[in-house]
C-alpha cells in the first residue's frame, strides 16, 4: 500500500515503516524457493492465480484494519503472494 496511507491513516513512525518494508522483503526472500517448487510441481497458471489472490488479500487486510499489526500481516501475505 501507499506510504501516505501507512503514515497518515495508520500513523506509522519511521522505524515502523522500515520494519514493514523489511518484513515484506524477508518474507519474499524466504518464500521464493518453496513457491517456485509449487509452481514446478503443479502448474504455473495455478501459481499465478494463487499469487494474485494472496496479493489482493494482503491489500484488503491492510486497507480494512488500520493498525500496525495488520499492516505487518498484510506485508507477509503480500510478500508470499508476490513470490508466486
Distance CA 35, CA 47 (A): 8
Which residues, 6 or more positions from 80, have their beta carbon under 8 angstroms from its beta carbon? Answer: 27, 28, 31, 35, 54
Confidence (pLDDT) at 69 = 94
Q: What is the pTM of this model?
A: 0.86
Confidence (pLDDT) at 4 = 85
In the chain, alpha helices (H):
3-4, 14-41, 44-64, 68-83
Which residues, 6 or more positions from 19, have their beta carbon under 8 angstroms from its beta carbon? Answer: 72
Q: In this predicted model, what pLDDT tens digit does every residue of 48-76 receive, in sequence order?
A: 999 999 999 999 999 999 999 999 999 99
- Phi, psi of 42, deg, nearest 5: -95, -115
Domain map of the chain by residue range? Answer: 13-83
Amino acid at each position: 500500500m501507499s506510504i501516505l496511507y501507512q503514515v497518515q491513516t495508520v500513523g506509522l513512525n519511521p522505524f515502523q515503516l522500515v520494519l514493514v518494508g523489511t518484513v515484506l522483503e524477508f518474507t519474499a526472500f524466504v518464500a521464493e524457493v518453496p513457491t517456485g517448487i509449487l509452481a514446478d510441481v503443479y502448474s504455473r497458471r495455478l501459481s499465478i492465480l494463487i499469487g494474485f489472490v494472496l496479493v489482493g488479500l494482503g491489500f484488503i487486510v491492510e486497507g480494512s484494519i488500520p493498525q500496525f499489526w495488520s499492516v505487518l500481516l498484510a506485508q507477509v501475505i503480500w510478500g508470499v503472494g508476490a513470490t508466486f
